[in-house]
Amino acid sequence: MKALIRAAFLLFSVLFAGVSMAQHEGHDHGSDDASHQATEAVEAAEHAAHDGHATEKFNPGEMIMGHVTDEHGWHLWGHTSIPLPIIIYNTERGLSLFSSAHFDHGHKTYAGYFLHEGKILATDAPDGTDVHHATENEALTAATWDVSITKNVLGMLVSIALMLIIFLSVAAGYRKRGVGAPKGLQSFIEPIILFVRDDVAKANIGPKYERFMPFLLTVFFFILINNLMGLIPIFPFGANVSGSISVTFALAAITFVLTLIHGNRHYWGHIIAMPGVPKPVLLILTPVEILGVFLRPAILMIRLFANITAGHIIVLSFFALIFIFGEINAGLGWGVSVFSLAFTIFMSMLELLVAFIQAFVFTFLSAMYLGAAIEEPHHH
Partner 1 sequence: MAGRGTSDASEYLRYTGLGLTMVGIILVSTYLGWWLDGLLNWKLPLLTIVFALLGIAGAMLHLFKETGRRR
Rule CB under 8 A: choose which of 46, 104, 146, 199 binds partner 1.
199
Distance of CA 296 to the CA centre of its chain: 18
Residue 185 interacting with partner 1 (CB under 8 A) = no
Residue 1 CA: distances (Å) to CA of 4, 5, 7, 226, 352: 5, 6, 10, 25, 16
Tell me the per-residue interface mask from 202 to 241 with partner 1, x by CB under 8 A, - otherwise: -xx-------------------------------------
Closer Cβ to partner 1, 185 or 372, answer by number: 372
Q: Least distance to partner 1 from the beta carbon of 59, Å?
A: 33
Longest dimension (CA), the chain: 81
Q: Least distance to partner 1 from the beta carbon of 22, Å?
A: 18
Q: State the number of binding residues for partner 1 (CB under 8 A).
A: 34
Closer Cβ to partner 1, 175 or 380, answer by number: 380
Length reported for the chain: 380
Residue 138 CA: distances (Å) to CA of 118, 123, 208: 16, 8, 52
Name the segment binding partner 1 (CB under 8 A); options: 29-37, 314-322, 328-336, 357-365. 357-365
Tell me the per-residue interface mask from 262 to 301 with partner 1, x by CB under 8 A, - otherwise: --------x---x------x--xx-xxx-xx--xx-xxx-
DSSP annotation string for 146-161: E----HHHHHHHHHHH
Rule CB under 8 A: choose which of 149, 302, 347, 350 binds partner 1.
302
Contact indicator for 60, 22 with CB cutoff of 8 Å = no
Residue 364 interacting with partner 1 (CB under 8 A) = yes
3-class DSSP state of 86: strand
Contact indicator for 48, 91 with CB cutoff of 8 Å = no
Q: How far apart are CA 18 and CA 201, in angstroms?
A: 32
Residue 188 interacting with partner 1 (CB under 8 A) = no
Contact indicator for 329, 310 with CB cutoff of 8 Å = no
Question: What residue ranges bind partner 1 (CB under 8 A)?
Answer: 1-2, 5-6, 9, 191, 194-195, 198-199, 203-204, 270, 274, 281, 284-285, 287-289, 291-292, 295-296, 298-300, 302-303, 361, 364-365, 368, 378
